Amino acid sequence: MQDFCSGFLCNTCLVSDLPAWYIVFMNFIDIDANNFINIYKDLCKQFPPEELKSYERFIELINSGADRVKIVTENSTNVGYVIFAEISDSLWLDYIAIFKEYHSKGYGSRILTSLSDEFKKGIYLEVEKPDENEPNTLRRIKFYTNLGAKKLDYDYFYPAKDKPFPMDLYYLPYNGKLPVNVEKDVKKLYSLLHSDIEYLNNYIK
């Protein structure tokens, strides 16, 4: 689940301030469990506790291959990271963050499109439902739709520790391809990343 108020997809991050002539070389470098501690420390700074898995749970997921962690570099500089799962022919974005010194430079859109291009797969995105009293929710939706993401017709909930949290599910397609079986992918996602949530047991069987 992504908290987009933490500086990496806020309204000041939606467009790039880099000049048109700037050549971007964005790469994704694998991070294993032995080198995850600094990423986890940054997660704790950028995300509220209720949206985070425990360090031990992250290590378990990384070692099993359920969660993949990649540092994002641009022109050999570490600018952020992504944590995601591979679900069928898609990626499921678990977390995305930009290191503090690179906030407000338009990296959110470049990372998402580069990640899709890197794996040649579309990306599932968990998005807060629109709330006119919370303008950031509207900005995020506009950001995703401008990027080409499509809202899926599916009643999705994020399995928070205490109770499910209703969210909208968007999909950033690769080459225009949308997922074939969303419900099947959601169940696989719950089984892979959230099998420790007891109230999901009956749902994922």
132 three-state secondary structure: coil
Interhelix angle 135-147/107-119, nearest 10 degrees? 40
Whether the Cβ atoms of residue 82 and residue 31 lie closer than 8 Å to each other:
no
Spans of all domains in the chain:
11-204
Helix (H) or strand (E) holding 109: helix 107-119
Q: From residue 159, how far is each of 3, 83, 128, 188 by CA, in Å?
A: 15, 17, 13, 13
Q: In this model, does residue 158 exceed pLDDT 60?
A: yes
For 163, the token pair is 């109770």
| Tens-digit pLDDT profile for residues 22-50 | 445 689 999 999 999 999 999 999 988 88
Average pLDDT, the chain: 86
Whether the Cβ atoms of residue 122 and residue 172 lie closer than 8 Å to each other:
yes
The residue behind tokens 């949308």 is: 178
Among the listed residues 133, 140, 136, 62, the one whose alpha carbon sits nearest the alpha carbon of residue 94? 62
For 56, the token pair is 């031990």
Q: In this model, does residue 7 exceed pLDDT 50?
A: no
pLDDT value of position 202: 67
11-204 fold: Aminopeptidase (3.40.630)
Mean pLDDT of 134-138: 87
